[in-house]
Every structure is written in structure tokens, then in C-alpha cells.
Amino acid sequence: MSNLLEQRLASLQKRFRELEQVIADPDLPKNPGAYKEAMQEYDHLRETMEVYAEYEARKTELSGAKQMAESEPDAELKAMAAAEIAPLEEELETIENRLKLLLVPRDPLDGKNIIVEIRAGTGGDEASIFAADLYRVYGRYAEIRKWKVEVMSESASEAGGFKEIIFSVSGKNVYGSLRYESGVHRVQRVPVTESQGRIHTSAVTVAVLPEAEETDIEINENDLKIDVYRSSGPGGQSVNTTDSAVRITHLPTGLVVICQDEKSQIKNKAKALRVLRSRLLEAEEAKKHAERAAERKSQVGSGDRSERIRTYNFPQNRVSDHRINLTLYKLEQIMQGEIDDIVDALKVSAIESAIKE
């Protein structure tokens, strides 16, 4: 473990002891806001300290095994100690990676729910089909994590995919886990419509927005232009007999949000406002990040949806994340929502970059 990590952990240990004193104060629950904030920080640090204690214990065991392997006069005991070294080193590395994940600088937005926007890019029908595939990937990942998914808006393609789908994901540490999914996802495979067996390259854009609460972003009703009309399906045919679809235009920024999935105009308006509020929060955060040049040097990239971040190569069963030079030959599992290896690697890269800075 590097000296920087050791220093960071020592600092967190000190803070953890301080928090133990803070939450022991019988008057703290009288201030619900301060109590919630202190308990959240305490719970996170407690997990970190538990893993750190486990790391120190394994480190001591490894040191003892090495010492015995070098100086133990009994040949049998010496061999037994030598055999323990490799497994202990591997376990120590695993625990250290867990610590790195826990040491990722906590962004105030990490605990927020998210709104995900997936749009078909270049590639026609194949891009729309892959947009649906990615929606299922995130849906299955959310199911594994026991998160809740709610479709906000969708525009189906005649090929059976999505030109666009917008959905929310709610649960524990959702944005902190999926924030690095924003960008261009490229797919290389033989489309179902291809009769010659040729591999096509298509692209889909993903935007992961922290869902804004009303207290995060205040929207002036006078800044909104709201239009209602009948919702439509693939090919433009009407799928409703009432003016339930809602289009909201935010006049100061020109942002437009459309929601038509619900039969109720009120529900569609509420969903559209959730999406609009989150897009405005994203724009505000992007402005802040642009002012922090150091943050833009992160290995995991800016999260800009125009940046090509990942390639899914079906013939080779390969997924490559171009930001951290990660290649995995387990595409089938990943398409089933098993993306923890990618998510965790991006988090580790983020903390390593932050430590270097």
C-alpha cells in the first residue's frame, strides 16, 4: 500500500473517532439534518475501518509467514509457511482494492438516484436494437442490486428496439455506481437483418444524470412553455384518444422534454419535470467541473456523452473500456447485467487518479 493511501487512512481513522464522540451526544437527534449527515458519514467510515482492520490483520499474517519461511529451522513448518505466502498476498491485494473503492472521494451527488437517457446513434435499426440491449443490461444490473427502475419515456423503433428510452433508477449509491456509464457505447456484431454475415459497427449514447430534487434546482413556472397533444407510437400512429402527451420547453436554456407514456397528462407532466430538473442539474454540475481543470484530467474521462468510452465486440466475446484500457472476454455475462468488474475498475481508477493529484 502506498504512503498516500496510508496517510489517507490515518486521517479517516482520526475522523472516525471524532464521529464516535459526535453521535454519542444525546442532543444530536434533536437536529434531524445534522443527525442524518453524521450517521451517513459514520456508517461509511465504519465500513472502511472494518476493511482496514481486516487488511492490517492479513498484513500481519503475511509478515509472520514470510519470517517463518526464512528462519524456521523445522523443514516441514518452513514449507507450510512458504505455501501460505502466495494466497495471503492475493487476499491482501483483494482487500486493498476494496479499500480503494471505499476511499473514492465521496461526491455529494453519489447517493442520488439517477435518470438514464439511452439514444440510438449511428447504425440505423441495429443501433436502436442495441439501445434496447443496453437498457436490459442496466435493468438486470439494477435487479441484482435490488434497485428500482421506472421508465419515464420511450420512443420505439420499427425494428423492435428504441430510438430513445429514458428511465429512472432509485436505490443505494446509484449515481456513485453508474456515473461513468455516460458516453458513446460502440457495438460490433452481425445484425439480425444482415444476410451476408458482415460485421457492422453501430453506436448508442448514454447519459447518466443525478436526479435533482426540488430543493436542488428551482424552476420558475414562467420559464416553461408547456404543450399537450396526443401520444404516438412507431410510425406516428396515435396510441391515445386524449391530449395526454406533454412537451415542456425550458425557455432560458432551450431544453425540451417530452413524456407520453402515461395516460394521465398530470403524470406525464410530473415525469417531464423530473427529467428537466435533472438535465438542469447536470448542466450546472458540468459547468462546475469545467472550472476544475484537475478533475478533467481523470483517467475515467469527463463523462461527456460525446466521448467514445466502450466497445462491445460480439464475434470476439470482448468488451473494452477505452478510458482505463480494460478488456474483458465475458461479453455474454456483461449483457446479462454482470457489470461489476467494469464498475469497480472505473471506481478504482478514479481513486488512483485522485490520489496522484
Of 289, 323, 342, the residue at which a domain comes to its end is: 289
Q: Tell me: the pLDDT tens digits for 131-150?
A: 999 999 999 999 999 999 99
Question: Do 310 and 328 sit in the same domain of this protein?
Answer: yes
Question: Do 314 and 342 sit in the same domain of this protein?
Answer: yes
Q: What is the CATH number of the domain that holds 327?
A: 3.30.70.1660
Question: Do 175 and 323 sit in the same domain of this protein?
Answer: yes
Of 56, 71, 102, the residue at which a domain comes to its end is: 102
pTM of the model: 0.67
Q: What is the CATH number of the domain that holds 267?
A: 3.30.160.20
Domains in the chain, number: 3
Question: Do 238 and 153 sit in the same domain of this protein?
Answer: no
Q: What is the CATH number of the domain that holds 43?
A: 1.20.58
Question: Do 248 and 123 sit in the same domain of this protein?
Answer: no
Q: Tell me: the pLDDT tens digits for 56-114?
A: 999 999 999 999 999 888 888 889 989 999 999 999 988 988 887 787 666 777 788 99
Question: Do 11 and 148 sit in the same domain of this protein?
Answer: no
Question: Do 76 and 19 sit in the same domain of this protein?
Answer: yes
Average pLDDT of every residue of the chain? 85
Question: Do 188 and 318 sit in the same domain of this protein?
Answer: yes
Tell me, what's the pLDDT at 357?
54
Give helix 340-356 / helix 3-23 axis angle, nearest 10°. 100
Question: Do 28 and 97 sit in the same domain of this protein?
Answer: yes
Confidence category of residue 291, pLDDT binned at 50, 70, 90: low
SS (H, E, C) 211-280: CCCCCCCCCCHHHEEEEEECCECHHHCECCCCCCEEEEEECCCCEEEEECCCCCHHHHHHHHHHHHHHHH
CB atoms inside a 10 Å sphere around CB 140: 16
Of 55, 73, 102, the residue at which a domain comes to its end is: 102
Range of the domain at 237: 221-289
Q: Does 295 reside within a domain?
A: no
Question: Do 306 and 322 sit in the same domain of this protein?
Answer: yes
Single out the residue of 66, 128, 123, 124 nearest to residue 92, CA to CA. 66
